[in-house]
Amino acid sequence: MEVQAPLLILLVTLLLGLLYNYASSPRKGSAARNLPPSLPLFSLLTAIAGISWPSAPSLADINHLLHRLQAFRGPITSLCLPFCTAVFISDVDLANQVLVNNGSAVSDRIRPSTPIHRHTPENFGVAISPYGEAWRSLRRNLVSGFVTPSSTKHFAGARRQVKEKLLERFTSEAAESAGIVNFRNNLSRVFYSLLVSMCFGRDLDDRETVELDRTMKSMISESAVLLFFSFLPRLIQKVFSKFLFSKNGGKHSAGILLHLLKNGRDHLHATCYADTLLEFELPADNKGGGKRKLREDEILDLCAEFIGASGHNTPIALEWIMAELVNHPRVQGRLAEELFLLGRIDGDQEMTSSPYLRAVVMEGIRLHPPSPSFFRLVGKEFEVGGYAVPKGALVFFNAASMGVDERLWEDPLKFFPERFLAAGKNAKLMAFGGGRRMCAGSESAVFILSYFVAHLVKEFEWRPTAAQGGEQVDMSAKMDFFMPMKTPLRACIVRRDNKNTNKTA
């Protein structure tokens, strides 16, 4: 991405603003308001010093900064930025208190002008709608049609087809290279073809798959940069996004999505998301505002969101889970045995009757949340832990550190799916957020991940490559807006003799 110089300017501006803020304290009103303790200037500077200068700041460096800051902060801290107050929460009890008890006060979101939502001039989507009737109804449409257990069975055919493609790909790659596969290669394409079936009710040809994959990847990396600057006023964000991404802003995705919308529906699949949107009646947020149909550009925003929300997180999670299984032959062996006993694995029934399969998926997501933090806009001032959080503040929740909090999880860095077999542990997982605006697709994500993990493990045994000397896979993370593996997973696969799954145990 050619954004280095502008990012540098932006970063410098931000730092000057911050220094000004520290220098001119006490700020007006802050004493009266009793904000959470301020992030100390010293730790901010230490974190900045820790970045590998003098390499130009890239997105990854800026996100390193954010993550280093997380290491320095207490359970709740605040930072007064030039245009807004940011509050950081990394304690799970405080997070639950805020997300549940003060749910209505923190259920708003900013409406960033990212490429995903830029088919409309005003930006439209479930994830970015203000808290209100329109959001509630859009979210209900998504959840009831596409992410409930009963709806997942409508897409069984598409899922099976995509799974076959993936298994074939691994088989032929392994045959050509002494059993070794590069797990991540083309993985996102596989997921995009599944999501397009769900969204537009049709299959993708090869050319469309490549184009969609390229388009979504660039939209998501632009969005990640812009979301990082979401504390800036909307107008400044718009100017920056024009300036930073003038060459390929939003428009290009309209091409492929519109093409899919207009040339869709082979009717092999059940009702698709786009069909429900064509029928959808959007209620107004103000009382007595009536209902109206969605415009075409709004439908494109919603479809881009549907594909973007799951198409990026889910393959990241799958790669992490498979890497953990390579490193933990005992867990992989136990899972293979359970799957063997289940027999056919196609629908919800088999999937829900294997608690161990679900535990493996949840444990992978706990240790490696694909979205390490999420944030909300405060719609109404509230108090937590004796501190006031003002209206208009952004509250950031640090899901990554909550996932490895040793007060909640015994031996938190250990990959140990058995911990999820005990009741009540799911509730403590923050990787999908919480409260009213929790991830709308969490159930479907866990289902899809379980489905692919099950088939990959049932078909092949996954081992470290000889180049790793039979040793462990490198499990370091790339600190980005999303948190993928730093080194893409390579593994050696051996087709399982399904009559004798014990050999890995």
Residues making contact with ligand HEM (CB under 6 A): 109, 126-127, 139, 147, 306, 309-310, 313-314, 317, 370-371, 374, 376, 431-434, 437-441, 444-445
Report phi then psi at 479, rounded to 5. -80, 105
131 binds ligand NAG (CB under 6 A): no
101 binds, among ligand NAG, ligand HEM, none (CB under 5 to 8 A by kind): ligand NAG
Backbone dihedral angles phi then psi of residue 488, each to the nearest 5 degrees: -55, 145
Which positions from 149 through 208 interact with ligand NAG, judged by CB under 6 A? 169, 173, 185-186, 206
Give whole-number Cα distances, 370 to 135, 251, 485, in Å.
24, 27, 10
Two tokens at 319? Answer: 């790669």
Place of tokens 């719609």: 379
Task: Choose between 63 and 501: whose C-beta lies nearer to ligand HEM.
Answer: 63
* Residue in 439, 451, 429 with CA at minimum distance from that of residue 357: 451
Which partner in ligand NAG, ligand HEM, none is near 127 (CB below 5 to 8 A by kind)? ligand HEM
Assigned token pair, 467: 């180049």
Q: Is residue 350 classed exposed, middle or buried when 0-12, 13-18 and 19+ CB atoms within 10 A define those classes? A: middle
In the complex, the smallest distance separating the C-beta of residue 196 from ligand HEM, rounded to whole angstroms, is 13
Q: CB of 15: closest distance to ligand NAG in angstroms? A: 33
- Figure out which of the listed residues 200, 245, 382, 482 binds ligand NAG, where binding follows CB under 6 A: 382
Could you tell me the smallest distance in angstroms from the CB atom of residue 76 to ligand NAG? 14
User: Which single residue brings its beta carbon nearest to ligand NAG?
Assistant: 101
Would you tell me the crossing angle of helices 313-327 and 187-200 to the nearest 10 degrees?
A: 140
Given ligand NAG, ligand HEM, none, residue 306, with its beta carbon under 5 to 8 Å by kind, binds ligand HEM
Distance CA 61, CA 48 (A): 9
At how many degrees (to 10) do helices 234-244 and 4-23 cross?
150
Q: Given the structure tokens 């259920």, which residue do they identify?
A: 107
CB of 395 to ligand HEM, least distance (A): 10
Closest by CA to 369, choosing from 398, 396, 395, 399, is: 399
Stretch that binds ligand NAG, among 7-15, 59-67, 100-108, 305-313 (CB under 6 A): 100-108
Chain centroid to CA 366: how far?
13
User: Residues in contact with ligand NAG, total (CB under 6 A)?
Assistant: 11
Q: Pull the structure tokens for residue 214.
A: 């390229």
Applying the rule CB under 6 A, the residues between 442 and 501 that interact with ligand NAG are none
CA distances from 113 to 223, 225, 244 (A): 8, 11, 13
Binding mask 206-245 for ligand NAG (x = CB under 6 A): x---------------------------------------
When the beta carbons of 109 and 463 are compared against ligand HEM, the nearer one is: 109
Residue 272 assigned ligand-binding role: no
Between 343 and 386, CB nearer to ligand NAG? 386
Q: Is 22 exposed, middle or buried (0-12, 13-18, 19+ CB in 10 A)?
A: middle
The answer to whether 33 contacts ligand NAG (rule: CB under 6 A) is: no
189 versus 366: smaller Cβ distance to ligand NAG: 189
Q: Which residues are annotated as a binding site for heme?
A: 439
Q: What does the binding site for ligand NAG look like in residue numbers (CB under 6 A)?
A: 101-102, 104-105, 169, 173, 185-186, 206, 380, 382
Q: Which residues are annotated as a binding site?
A: 439
